[in-house]
Amino acid sequence: MTNSEIVDLLELTGRLMELHDRDTFKTRSFQTAAFNLDKSTADLSNLPVEELVKLQGVGKSVAQKIREIAETGRLTDLDELLAETPPGVLDMFRIKGLGVKKVRTLWRELGIDNLHDLQVAGENGEIAKIKGFGASTQEKILAALEFLQEQQGKVRMDKAAMIANLLRDELTKHFERVEISGQVRRKAQEVDTVQVLVQTNNPVSAMLTLGQLPNLEQNELESSPFAWRGKLAGFDVLVEILLYPAEQINRQLFINTAADAHLKQAGPGGTSLLQSAYTGSYVAENQSVDQVENAIYERAGLPYIVPEMREDEFAFRWARNHRNDELVTWDDLRGTLHNHSTWSDGKQSVADMAAYCRKLGLTYFGIADHSKTASYAGGLDAERVRQQQIEIDRLNAGFGADFRIFKGIESDILGDGSLDYDDETLATFDYVVASVHQTLTMSFEKATTRLLRAIENPYTTILGHPTGRLLLAREGYPIDHRAIIDACAEHNVIIEINASPYRLDIDWHWIEYAIQQGVMLSINPDAHDFAGLLDMHYGVAIGRKGGLTKAMTFNTLTLEEMSEYLQQRREQIRK
């Protein structure tokens, strides 16, 4: 059991105990333990009770529960609670804004125990009549239900890649060649079909093999002699395994990777990419995938487009002025600027995060812990800012000229668009990431005005996750992207591509306009631990999808260039 799995079970137990009005003290003990252990770097599954109780928020009773989870993969208390809870009530917790108390009220007072009945009650106006809800809450619930329905059956980019890799690893034990294709290969931020191609000259035998593999659950009605369709146990997303002989698999890898809108694009002679793929001969011995795909584009009279960009006609507009080797890559990144530590809600210290960055070959690490308004995340008041900066000075004194920690902060954008520190405190930072974290329900005009004022603040260096969205969980607040990007161009503000697969915000469709306006983008992991730093891979993928070049990526600047840039910005503010 991983730490996150253990914490999830503790958190769910605490939530259901509260739902069922269990002993308040015991309920709080589970909730407190889950909250504190979420930041723990200790290997919970391998710690004995006497070591677990030394961790913050963990008493002897909860420590024993953790041991039960680690040894059995289950928790008896939770199993009993789940037996008393309709599955649909658990689904109601997915609705943003519905906490335990509201879910309990809906269940107990209206008898609502599933999402369908919740929607009907909202449409009939019954929810608004309940004390403590009202028309506004009812409207938000209905909007959240609509959003969830639209996202059903989808997974984020990171989970899709994990599923695809699991499939490939298993299938390569049985088949000569297996290729990840479709949305996963072109790095879609949300995936509704995880697709792999299998090379075989005997589809009947291949289907029999697939039918014997563990964890594959076939949908026979949706399958065909050459296409296995179903799910991987434990994941609510369609899995598609397509069977092709050796002479077809390269062309089919191209066809299945590209979106329909991309395949319809035609060259000067009128030949579309789809026509080129089907009419050309691409079966030469030992031809690589790259050779075949290049030949398909060449036959159509079109420039080669990298897999990430095979969405629509945008890639060909981009290609008129750019080369593929201009696109940003992981190796181009020189540092990282939006990261958290144990000073706020991170899991590792500043020193450890910086050391891991050095191992990754980066030359600078920017710490941007939460600011004072984010008290729920251990945000730093002015005194703690000063203490952290003293620590950073001490750490920097131990580095050579090839590495540096920059002093940043993720300053909350308040409701009126101001930042949550005075100018004297803001002036102590090397840079400021300005982000919205609270009061996310805003009109188009309110959200845009709020961000515009933050951008106008001379201390704002980077605009963090501009829409505040959480993929598959929460829509972003509506903003006038053009006005925001134009303002960033006017005030020399960088826009973040938040590389967390939960966010990927700003959306890739706006990268082209930002570049046209001369606005640089920073691929920021918003990392809270070592693994989070690697999320920059997702940011690179989304950046490439939107045509982001190395030249327009802020954190491809060298250490010397970044130091000079930030120093000049501070000097301009002082003038």
Give the pLDDT score at 282.
64
Q: Give, in words, the CATH class of 3-151.
A: mainly alpha
Give the pLDDT score at 283.
57
Q: What is the pTM of this model?
A: 0.88
Give the CB-side neighbour count of residue 158, counting CA atoms within 13 A: 16
Give the pLDDT score at 4.
87
Query: What single DSSP character describes residue 223?
Result: -
> Which tokens go with 265?
């694009």
Give the CB-side neighbour count of residue 297, counting CA atoms within 13 A: 18
Chain-centroid distance of CA 262 in Å reads 25
Q: Where in the chain is the domain with CATH 1.10.150.110?
A: 3-151
Give the pLDDT score at 524.
98
**120/526 Cα distance (integer angstroms):** 39
pLDDT by residue for the chain (575 residues), tens only, comes to 888 899 999 999 999 999 999 999 999 999 999 998 988 888 999 999 999 999 999 999 999 999 999 999 899 999 999 999 998 999 999 887 789 999 999 998 889 999 989 999 999 999 999 988 989 889 889 988 888 888 889 999 999 999 999 999 999 999 999 999 999 999 999 999 999 999 999 999 999 999 999 899 999 999 999 999 999 998 989 999 999 999 899 999 999 999 999 999 999 999 999 999 998 776 555 678 999 999 999 999 999 999 999 999 999 999 999 999 999 999 999 999 999 999 999 999 999 999 999 999 999 999 999 999 999 899 999 999 999 999 999 999 999 899 999 999 999 999 999 999 999 999 999 999 999 999 998 999 999 999 999 999 999 999 999 999 999 988 899 999 999 999 999 999 999 999 999 999 999 999 999 999 999 999 999 999 999 999 999 999 999 999 999 999 999 999 999 999 999 999 999 87
Strand pairing class (227-232; 238-244): antiparallel
Q: Where in the chain is the domain with CATH 3.30.460.10?
A: 153-244
Q: Which of 13, 177, 162, 141 is nearest to 82 (CA)?
A: 13
CB 388 within 8 A of CB 350: yes
Write the CA distances from 257 to 248, 253, 307, integer angstroms: 14, 6, 7
Q: Where in the chain is the domain with CATH 3.20.20.140?
A: 331-345+410-574
Give the pLDDT score at 286.
66
**CATH number, span 153-244:** 3.30.460.10
Q: Which of 14, 206, 49, 143 is nearest to 475 (CA)?
A: 143
**50/73 Cα distance (integer angstroms):** 20
**Beta bridge partner(s), residue 413:** 419
Amino acid 82 reads: L
> Which CATH number is correct for 331-345+410-574, 3.40.50.11690, 3.40.50.2000, 3.20.20.140, 3.20.20.70?
3.20.20.140
Degrees, nearest 5: CA angle 410-415-418: 55
